[in-house]
Structure 1
C-alpha cells in the first residue's frame, strides 16, 4: 500500500527547498527590501522547542543585521506623522513585539534583546499579573492534555462542546461569552481535580511579576496593554470591553508611572465595537492579521508578521507575511 502521507511530505520538501534557494540566492532579501514598507514582528513565548534562547538570539541578530529595528512607539509616531517608510537593506523599518507578558519573555528574551541592544514592546495583562494566573487558554490546554482520550470525550460532552478534540474545545471556548467561558473553565477544573503544573508548564505559562514588568519597562524595552485578563473581546458586552481596555491602561500607568497608549488585541480578535472603544482609549493597536504596514494604515488595526525560528521562512515572510 502506498504511503498516504507521501504527497504531503513531497510538498513540504519542495517548499522547504524553494525557501532555502530563495534564502541562499538573496531573492528573499531583495524582494523584501525593494519597496518601502514597515514591518512589526509578533512573538509569544520563548525558551520552547519552537523558539529556544539560541534560536531567538540567532533570529534577532539576523534581523539587526538586515533591518533598522526601532521601538514600536517610534514607528507609531512616524506612521501618525505621515513619515514615508524608508526602504533598502539595513534601512527598512522594523519593530519587535511580544504578546502576553510571560515570565520567559523577561527571563529569556530580555537578556537577548539587551545584549543585542534591540528595542521591543511586551504587551501585558495587568489583571493576570495581579492574580498570578495563567492566560485562560493556557490553563485550559494544559488541563485537557492531562486527560485520556476517553476522559477528553467525557469532559467535552459535559461542556456541551461540539468538538471532542483538544484544539477544537479550545476554539469553541473562544466563542463563548465571558460568563459562559468562566462556567466552562469551572467544569474543566472539575474534570481535572488532581491537576498540578509541571516545571516545563510553569516555564512556558507563568506570568511576569510586577517587579519583572517594571524591569521590562526600562532602557530599550517597554510595556504595552493587552487587556486586563485576555478575553476574546468580540464575545464581551460593550461595558465589559470598556473595562478590559480602560482598566488595563489605568493599572499599567499606575504601576509604571507613565502613560501607556499602545495596545494589542488578545488572540487578534476584534470587531467594530472593539475598534471603536480601542480608538477612544489608545493611540495605536496591533492585530494578528498578517501583513506589512502600508501607508494609510488604520493605527488602531496595524498588522504584524509572525516570527519563526526557521530563517529561510522568516526571510520569505518579510516579503510575504502570510507564508
Structure 2
C-alpha cells in the first residue's frame, strides 16, 4: 500500500514571533551602525576643518596683528545687528507667546519664519541699492526716530492702565495694533525734526552710504526672525499653569511675564541670542554688499568696515596657495570657525539645560 504523505507542521506562534524579533533586531543593528557611521563622519568633518586650517595657516603673532581690522569689523557688524534685532525679536516673541490671541499667533509665527527664508543676497542687494541712498539722506531722521520711539511707546504703556476697562478688555491680544498710530506719529515727528536739523545746522550726508549703520539695520532685520522664532518657542514652552497661578494670585500679565515666565525661559532666551550672534558673525552677503568693505577699527557708525566673512569671499579666489596672503586668509577662517563653534556649543548646552529644567530633572 502507498504510504500517505505527511503534511509539514505549521509554525507555532512562538516561532513566528521569534523570527519577527530576529528580523527586527537585525534591522535595528543595521540602522544603529549607519547612524554611528554618520555621527563619526560628522565629528571627523568638524575636527578636520580646524585641523586643516591650523596646519596650513601657520598661525603667528604677525597674522593676528594683520587680522585686527577685519576681526574688529566682524564684531562691529554683529553687535550692531544685535542692537537692532534684540529689542524687536524679544519683545515680539514675548507678545506673541504670552499676549497674542491664538488666531493672531497662528499666522504671525509662520510669517516670521517665512521672512527668515528670504535669501541673504536679496537683502544685501536691497540694502546696497535702495536702503543705502535713502538712509544717507535721512540719517538724522532715523536717529531721531530711534530716540523718540522708546519714549513714546513707554508713555503709551504707562497710560494704558488708565484707559476705560471696556477698551482694555476688547483690545486684549491686539494691543500692538494700537501702537501703529503712535509709530506713524513718531515717524512723522522724526522726519520733521531731521529735516529741520539738516537745514538749520547744515548736517550733510555721511562720507559713504555703505557704513556700519546700514549694516546694523539690515543685518539686524535679517537675524531678527531667527531670534523671534527661538525666543518664542522658549517662552511658549513654559507651562501655562504657572502663569495661570500667578494671575490667580493677583499678578498682572506683565508681572507674570517678567517675574515668572522670563526667568523660567532664560536659558532658551540666552541660547537664542547666542545663535543669532553666531549667525550675524558668519553672515557674508549682507556685510559684503552693504559695508563698503573698508578696513576700519574705529567705532564711527558712519564709515565702512570689512568683516572676516566678506574678506574671505573677496580675496580667497585670488589667493595663491602657499603664499603669505593665503595663510592669512586661512588664519582668519580659523578664527571665524572657532568663534562660531564656541557660540553654538554654549547655546546648545544652555538649551539642554532648559529641557532638563522644564522636565523637572
TM-score w.r.t. length of structure 2: 0.23
Bigger relative contact order, structure 1 or 2, given CA contacts below 8 A and separation 6+?
2
Bigger proportion of residues as helix: 2
Bigger proportion of residues as strand: 1
* Rg larger for: 2
